[in-house]
């Protein structure tokens, strides 16, 4: 199926029934050092290193006792939380099925469903110290549409964070290039002491993803006047 080039890079032959796009994706996966590292270290996805790098920079997991993982599939971020915080309560939600993770409660349902916030709150058993969101809308190839769909998820995640976070808590969400919308950033700044954008090294260079990191939840929600 594949062969190594002079540089040691694995190249993938185009196979019958496999598109050129699929071939490029497979070749990228086979040559991605984060993918290889994830397999070696037992993480379900390379995304685990994005959270590890964000935690190293912002101290997100320090002292957290209750954590919510929005868009948990396939479970890499929850694995990191459990590794760093073995005693923490962790609850995740995703439309996709997720293999069990020891110590993690996983809800298979649509986060945008009316019943989802209450289901997450009940499963967590108290206020959260940290709400993580690696959710992303399925892209359609139209930048403006993709941005609007993803920002709708970020806004829904933020609204949920306001409800469940304890004072001093943090909210982290995936956004696209350009970061969160101005209005959302302004709202986050009213409700958190610090709001920053970051692109962890584990994010692929060609990827448009960034993360918004809001820390120091004030405990009282301030909306637009």
Domain boundaries, the chain: 2-31, 45-217
- Indicate the pLDDT class of residue 198, thresholds 50, 70 and 90: very high
Q: Among all residues, which ones are annotated catalytic?
A: 174
pLDDT on residue 21: 53
Q: Does residue 176 or residue 118 have the better pLDDT?
A: 118
The answer on pLDDT for 16 being more than 70 is no
Q: Does residue 37 or residue 198 have the better pLDDT?
A: 198
The residue-averaged pLDDT of 162-169 equals 98
Distance from C-alpha of 55 to C-alpha of 213, rounded to nearest angstrom: 10
Tens digit of pLDDT for each residue in 125-136? 999 999 999 998
- Indicate the pLDDT class of residue 36, thresholds 50, 70 and 90: confident
Distance from C-alpha of 134 to C-alpha of 173, rounded to nearest angstrom: 6
Q: Does 210 show up as a binding residue in the annotation? A: no
Q: Would you say the C-alpha torsion 188, 190, 191, 192 has a positive or negative sign? A: positive
Q: Could you give phi then psi for residue 38, rounded to 5 degrees?
A: -60, -45
- What are the residues facing 90 on neighbouring strands? 67, 104
The answer on pLDDT for 223 being more than 70 is no
The answer on pLDDT for 5 being more than 50 is no
Helix (H, G, I), strand (E, B) or coil at 21: helix
- Indicate the pLDDT class of residue 108, thresholds 50, 70 and 90: very high
pLDDT on residue 13: 52
pLDDT on residue 205: 75
Distance from C-alpha of 180 to C-alpha of 224, rounded to nearest angstrom: 16
Q: Which of the residue ranges 8-12, 179-183, 207-211 has the most confident prediction, judged by mean pLDDT?
A: 207-211
pLDDT on residue 120: 98
Q: Does 75 show up as a binding residue in the annotation? A: yes
The answer on pLDDT for 26 being more than 50 is no
The residue-averaged pLDDT of 34-39 equals 80
The answer on pLDDT for 4 being more than 50 is no
Q: Are 80 and 55 in contact (CB under 8 A)?
A: yes
pLDDT on residue 25: 39
Q: Does 114 show up as a binding residue in the annotation? A: no
The answer on pLDDT for 106 being more than 90 is yes
- For domain 45-217, which CATH number applies: 3.90.550.10, 3.30.70.100, 3.40.50.150, 3.40.50.300? 3.40.50.150
The answer on pLDDT for 17 being more than 60 is no
Q: Does 110 show up as a binding residue in the annotation? A: yes
Name the average pLDDT for the chain: 85
């Amino acid at each position: 199926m594949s062969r190594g080039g002079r540089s040691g890079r694995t190249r993938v032959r185009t196979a019958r029934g496999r598109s050129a796009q699929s071939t490029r994706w497979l070749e990228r996966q086979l040559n991605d050092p984060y993918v290889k590292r994830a397999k070696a270290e037992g993480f379900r996805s390379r995304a685990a290193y994005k959270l590890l790098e964000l935690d190293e920079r912002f101290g997100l997991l320090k002292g957290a006792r209750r954590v919510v993982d929005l868009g948990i599939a396939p479970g890499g971020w929850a694995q990191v939380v459990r590794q760093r915080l073995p005693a923490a309560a962790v609850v995740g939600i995703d439309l996709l099925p997720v293999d069990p993770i020891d110590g993690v409660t996983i809800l298979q349902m649509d986060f945008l469903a009316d019943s989802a916030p209450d289901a997450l709150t009940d499963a967590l058993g108290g206020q959260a110290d940290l709400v993580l969101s690696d959710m992303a809308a399925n892209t359609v190839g139209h930048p403006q549409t993709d941005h609007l769909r993803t920002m709708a998820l970020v806004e829904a995640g933020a609204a949920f964070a306001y409800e469940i976070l304890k004072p001093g808590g943090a909210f982290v969400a995936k956004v696209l290039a350009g970061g969160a919308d101005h209005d959302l950033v302004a709202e986050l700044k009213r409700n958190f002491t610090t709001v920053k954008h970051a692109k962890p090294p584990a994010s692929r260079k060609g990827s448009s993803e960034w993360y918004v990191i809001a820390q120091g939840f004030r405990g009282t929600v301030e909306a637009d006047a």
